[in-house]
């Protein structure tokens, strides 16, 4: 609500693959042209589950940043940084923890799910329980309005909204709030003040969502008001106290249609991936040895694309004409499987070509990547410090 700011993070889990590209990165690239975007490496989040392998984390971090750049994330458009280099996230996490009910954390579906899925790890830890709250701090510290995430992360964004509301409720109350809000309205000027009051009444009496949005936009435009007054006016529309932390929206990323080499979802844990910058020979070999419809034992046996993982790749990479060629040729045994796979190999290599090219200079000169991240961290820190200062003030922690 303060600005159309987009924030998202990714845990550094090693080289990214085409599933990440089609599922997440393409979307990030698109958003960077439309909004102010902040993208970060969630290295602390990686530690919550992989605290026992500190030796690989650094390599994973830099590999991932290169993969982002290779995908077309442009450091001139988006701010790229590393979570642990902005320690303000941790401070906000701690402060938020004071008003976070344990039950809220225990109820989040990923908590029990992941503990069961990763049964070989001891995840009965304080850090793992706090995973979603750390994520809330990541989001709230930038007052991000949109958080592009996959479906599994939506409960975390929902939780973040609840935390923001709770925080505002507990700490947004101030002595004489009503009078201060009324005084702030007057500073809007007569015309806007009248409009603000009308919209506020409309929202308070009828719950009119458009009135709420219009009133917020009006306050948003009043750039010359002091920050404190703007927060009061945002909060006053809805009756409550100041809006110290704004509620983000999840921007649901459509599930990637990118299948793995075996037809399951592409995932490192299934060992069925093609990594973003995998070399051409390896890509060709992996696709050539992909399983096909088991009914096609001999070249002359007809097959059914619906039973073949290669067809899933055609759905991602081929136009209608080629899809028709596959359907026809497979069902009539008119084409062989290797023949069918060749255009897929070509399409994947074609897609990867600009990625390999973009990555080249970063691989050759790692200091370029270091400096992009150093710049991003500095920018992010400035924003984070602003919010943290206001949070501490509201919590009575600014001592003079």
Q: What residue ranges bind ligand TRP (CB under 6 A)? A: 7-11, 42, 45, 135, 138-139, 147, 149, 153
Q: Which is nearer to ligand TRP, 36 or 138 (CB)?
A: 138
Least distance (Å) between residue 314 CB and ligand SF4 = 7
Where does 187-305 have alpha helices with state H? 190-206, 209-221, 227-237, 280-288
* Residue 215 binding target from ligand SF4, ligand TRP, none, CB below 5 to 8 Å by type: none
Q: Which is nearer to ligand SF4, 311 or 362 (CB)?
A: 311
> Which stretch of DSSP H or E encloses residue 7?
strand 5-10
- Of 338, 367, 139, residue with least CA distance to 247: 139
Least distance (Å) between residue 121 CB and ligand TRP = 16
CB-CB contact of 22 with 256 (8 Å): yes
Q: Which is nearer to ligand SF4, 169 or 331 (CB)?
A: 331
Where would I find the beta strands (DSSP E) of 46-93? 78-82
- Say whether 304 sits in a helix, a strand or coil: coil
- Of 127, 76, 144, residue with least CA distance to 383: 144
Q: Which is nearer to ligand TRP, 50 or 341 (CB)?
A: 50
* Residue 138 binding target from ligand SF4, ligand TRP, none, CB below 5 to 8 Å by type: ligand TRP
Least distance (Å) between residue 148 CB and ligand TRP = 8
Task: Based on DSSP, count helices (H) and strands (E) in the chain, helices before strands.
Answer: 19, 5
Least distance (Å) between residue 340 CB and ligand SF4 = 3
The CA distances from residue 327 to 75, 117, 322, 344, in Å, are 43, 38, 9, 14
**Which residue is associated with the tokens 């890509």?**
283
- Of 310, 175, 194, 181, residue with least CA distance to 234: 181
Least distance (Å) between residue 19 CB and ligand SF4 = 20
Least distance (Å) between residue 333 CB and ligand SF4 = 8
Q: Which is nearer to ligand SF4, 284 or 335 (CB)?
A: 335
Distance CA 233, CA 218 (A): 10
Q: Which is nearer to ligand SF4, 246 or 292 (CB)?
A: 292
User: Which distant-in-sequence residues (6+ apart) come within 8 Å of 255 by Cβ?
Assistant: 23, 150, 151
Q: Can you read off the two tokens belonging to residue 388?
A: 């943290």
CB-CB contact of 270 with 260 (8 Å): yes
Cβ count near 373 (within 10 Å): 20
Least distance (Å) between residue 260 CB and ligand SF4 = 15
Cβ count near 356 (within 10 Å): 16
Q: Which is nearer to ligand TRP, 35 or 236 (CB)?
A: 35
* Residue 9 binding target from ligand TRP, ligand SF4, none, CB below 5 to 8 Å by type: ligand TRP
Least distance (Å) between residue 373 CB and ligand SF4 = 42
Q: Which is nearer to ligand TRP, 25 or 219 (CB)?
A: 25
* Residue 335 binding target from ligand TRP, ligand SF4, none, CB below 5 to 8 Å by type: ligand SF4
Whats the size of the chain, residue-wise?
400
* Residue 296 binding target from ligand SF4, ligand TRP, none, CB below 5 to 8 Å by type: ligand SF4
Q: Which chain residues interact with ligand SF4 by CB under 6 A?
A: 292-293, 296, 303, 305, 308, 310-311, 326, 330, 335, 337, 340-341
CB-CB contact of 65 with 369 (8 Å): yes
Q: Can you read off the two tokens belonging to residue 397?
A: 């922690």
* Residue 260 binding target from ligand TRP, ligand SF4, none, CB below 5 to 8 Å by type: none
* Residue 305 binding target from ligand TRP, ligand SF4, none, CB below 5 to 8 Å by type: ligand SF4
* Residue 311 binding target from ligand SF4, ligand TRP, none, CB below 5 to 8 Å by type: ligand SF4
> Which stretch of DSSP H or E encloses residue 137?
helix 131-140
* Residue 8 binding target from ligand TRP, ligand SF4, none, CB below 5 to 8 Å by type: ligand TRP
Q: Which is nearer to ligand SF4, 4 or 328 (CB)?
A: 328
């Amino acid at each position: 609500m303060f600005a159309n700011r987009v924030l998202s993070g990714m845990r550094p889990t090693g080289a990214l693959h085409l599933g990440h590209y089609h599922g997440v990165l393409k979307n990030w690239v698109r958003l960077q042209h439309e909004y102010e975007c902040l993208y970060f490496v969630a290295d602390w989040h990686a530690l919550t589950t992989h605290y026992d392998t500190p030796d690989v984390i650094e390599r994973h971090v830099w590999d991932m940043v290169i993969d982002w750049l290779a995908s077309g994330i442009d450091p001139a458009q988006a701010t790229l940084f590393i979570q642990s280099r902005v320690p303000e996230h941790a401070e906000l996490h701690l402060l938020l923890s004071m008003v976070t009910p344990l039950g809220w954390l225990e109820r989040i579906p990923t908590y029990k799910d992941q503990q069961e899925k990763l049964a070989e790890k001891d995840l009965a830890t304080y850090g793992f329980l706090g995973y979603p709250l750390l994520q809330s701090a990541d989001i709230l510290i930038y007052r991000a309005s949109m958080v592009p995430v996959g479906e599994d992360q939506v409960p975390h964004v929902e939780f973040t909204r609840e935390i923001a509301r709770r925080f505002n409720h507990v700490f947004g109350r101030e002595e004489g709030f009503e009078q201060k809000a009324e005084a702030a309205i007057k500073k809007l000027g007569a015309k806007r003040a009248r409009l603000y009051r009308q919209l506020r009444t409309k929202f308070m009496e009828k719950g009119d969502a458009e009135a709420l949005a219009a009133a917020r936009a009006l306050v948003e435009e009043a750039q010359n008001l002091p920050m404190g007054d703007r927060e009061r006016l945002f909060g006053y529309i809805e009756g409550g106290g100041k809006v110290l932390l704004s509620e983000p929206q999840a921007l649901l990323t459509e599930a990637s249609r990118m299948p793995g080499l075996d037809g399951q979802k592409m995932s490192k844990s299934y060992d069925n991936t093609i990594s973003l910058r995998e070399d051409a020979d390896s890509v060709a070999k992996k696709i050539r040895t992909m399983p096909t419809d088991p009914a096609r034992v001999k070249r002359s046996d007809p097959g059914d694309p619906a039973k073949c993982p290669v067809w899933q790749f055609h759905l991602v990479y081929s136009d209608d004409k080629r899809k028709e060629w596959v359907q026809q040729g497979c069902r009539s045994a008119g084409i062989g499987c290797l023949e069918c796979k060749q255009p897929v190999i070509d399409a994947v290599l074609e897609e990867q070509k600009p990625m390999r090219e973009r990555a080249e200079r970063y691989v050759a000169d790692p200091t370029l990547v270091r400096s992009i991240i150093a710049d991003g961290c500095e920018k992010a820190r400035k924003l984070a410090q602003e919010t943290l200062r206001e949070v501490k003030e509201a919590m009575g922690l600014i001592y003079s």
